[in-house]
């Protein structure tokens, strides 16, 4: 599909989705959220895609939601906008494919929330991240209060959200907000290296692991362990499990087919 505010490139089973609104620092407008929602849904059904990389064109990953479009909203409009943004994050989180955020610059507000919905966040050394919504008299609305607290801990999430501080990539790495920091010119290559490692593994197993981790977070430990046991057992009915174990015993590389 053709997009106005995104580009989607697929190569070697990796889909790179570039948010392409650099004149507005890739701010999340309703149109951009619509296009992201469509892209995520289309890639979910794309059999040739195993990994999705999200990044931004220009100086920003996403510098936030589009304040010019938000300013005139009332509570009803704002509720719909927050739900729409939240739905995009949930679709990424619930996807059977791994998502990597390649944060090349500013990831603020809704941009930070979009990155938090991904499975990993790799950042350029020049990146800046934060949830500065309180400076505008509002709070994160696309899942930031929830995912940030789960990622960096409750107290640190409160500190970042209450102060609205914007932090550098090295500080984001120190507190666990991002998973890796590299020089700007090495960002996409580093993301590609990780993506290829994931692609070498059983796709059904990766999808099951992602689903089990996320669903287990809302369960008790006992319930989560039971969920894991069921997912583990179900994989023994797949061709990938037979191939993976046969390849190990035969000392060769497995040829997974996702079945």
Reduced 3-state DSSP string for 96-165: CCEEEEEECCEEECHHHHHHHHCCEEEEECCCEEECCHHHHCCCCCCCHHHHHHHHHCHHHHHHHHHHCC
Residues whose CB falls within 8 Å of the CB of residue 41, separated by 6 or more in sequence, listed in order: 91
* 93 is annotated as an active-site residue: no
Cβ contact 106:62 at 8 Å? yes
Buried/exposed code over 240-249 (b: 16+ C-beta within 10 A; e: otherwise) = bbebbeeeee
Confirm whether 133 is a catalytic residue.
Answer: yes
> Can you tell me which residue has the tokens 């991240």?
129
| Among 48, 113, 183, 228, the one annotated catalytic | 113
**Measuring CA to CA, which residue among 144, 109, 147, 149 is closest to residue 128?**
109
Catalytic residue among 48, 93, 94, 133: 133
Query: Looking at the annotation, which residues are catalytic?
Result: 113, 133
């Amino acid at each position: 599909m053709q997009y106005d505010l995104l580009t989607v490139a697929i190569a070697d089973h990796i889909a790179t989705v570039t948010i392409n609104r650099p004149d507005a620092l890739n701010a999340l407008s309703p149109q951009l959220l619509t296009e992201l929602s469509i892209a995520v849904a289309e890639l979910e059904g794309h059999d040739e895609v195993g990994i999705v990389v999200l990044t931004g064109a220009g100086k920003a990953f996403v510098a936030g939601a589009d304040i010019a479009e938000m300013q005139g909203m009332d509570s009803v409009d704002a509720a719909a906008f927050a739900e729409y943004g939240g739905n995009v994050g949930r679709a990424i989180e619930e996807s059977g494919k791994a998502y990597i955020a390649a944060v090349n610059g500013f990831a603020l507000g809704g941009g930070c929330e979009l990155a938090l919905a991904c499975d990993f966040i790799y950042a350029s050394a020049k990146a800046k991240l934060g949830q500065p919504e309180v400076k505008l008299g509002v709070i994160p609305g696309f899942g930031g209060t929830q995912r940030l607290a789960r990622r960096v801990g409750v107290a640190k999430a409160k500190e970042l959200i209450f102060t609205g501080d914007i932090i550098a990539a090295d500080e984001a790495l120190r507190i666990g907000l991002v998973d890796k920091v590299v020089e700007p010119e090495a960002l996409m290559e580093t993301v590609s290296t990780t993506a290829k490692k994931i692609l070498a593994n059983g796709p059904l197993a990766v999808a099951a692991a992602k689903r089990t981790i996320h669903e287990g977070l809302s369960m008790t430990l006992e319930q989560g362990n039971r969920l894991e046991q069921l997912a583990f057992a179900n994989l023994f009915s797949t061709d990938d499990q037979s191939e993976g174990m046969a390849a190990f015993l035969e000392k060769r590389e497995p040829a997974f087919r996702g079945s």
